[in-house]
Amino acid sequence: MLLNGKVALVTGSANGMGRGIARRFAEEGCDLIINDLSLDAAERVAGEIRSLGRRAIAVKADITNSDEVENMTQAAVKEFGKIDILVNNAGGVPGTAGRGNSDNITSEEWDRVVDLNLTGPFLVTMSVLPVMKRNNYGKIIFISSMGAVSPCVSVLHYHTAKAGILGLTINLAFELAPQNIYVNAIVPGPVDTTFWNALVPAGPEREALFSAIAKKEVPLERIGRPEDIAGPALFLASQLSDFVTGQIIYAAGGQPLLAHGATFNIEAFLMARAQGRTQSVV
């Protein structure tokens, strides 16, 4: 197994891509720290990991709170003695209801979303790094977003934060390479997770949106699944990538191969949805 004997902390791993990554790691012999804002949800996934024959603990922690982050790191070290792999997955746009362009963004919302998607991963990384440095080994994986490099909707705070993640990845990779700590990033394309709940509730409209995105945005003509991100994460977490650092992997079904001018306008879809005429833009 590719991760036999390794310990991984995956933030935001109670659902979506984080859960998919955690389960894939467990299948390859990894023990897990499952993190989420909901302890019950984290415990549920930790139970799934244990059912696969691996050890797991659930930790409730807000990644934007440095004290809670440090407590999470200490709980991991107390249980496992080390952290070999860190996946900075937690993020999103909760509570924005589609807001984020220059006409409706607020400074308070900017601070909140940037804290969650850039400062939070930074805080977790800074907390875990001393553990990795003591062991002279680590694999750090950041999850960015296609919107950081090829947006099809204006979400200024989220996309700016995710672009910052790419800069953080490259700079940390340069700094930490002599200490045998690898730092890479994954840029997912559209993936069917709870992330979309802040934009379009589950149901026929979301299915229509996904169908349009798949047809007009993704060369492989389908929306991604969490396991589509778990595969690249496994590569970056394992010895298969022991000569790979400072790299950005696009796990996006062929994006951004399409010319940007031909992309599907999600913003127009959301506006039309608010006016009850989504069929006209799908």
CA dist 215 to 208, 211, 223, 252, 270, Å? 11, 6, 9, 13, 17
CA distance 166 to 184: 9
CA dist 197 to 54, 93, 106, 201, 230, Å? 31, 9, 20, 5, 21
Q: Which of 137, 158, 182, 250 is flagged as catalytic?
A: 158
Closest CA to 94 of 206, 198, 200: 198
Q: Are 117 and 142 in contact (CB under 8 A)?
A: no
Cβ-count burial of 258 within 10 angstroms (0-12 exposed, 13-18 middle, 19+ buried)?
A: middle
Is residue 158 part of the annotated active site? The answer reads yes
| H helices present in the chain, as ranges | 16-27, 39-51, 66-80, 107-114, 120-135, 156-176, 204-217, 226-237, 266-274
Q: Are 105 and 156 in contact (CB under 8 A)?
A: yes
Q: Which residues are catalytic?
A: 158
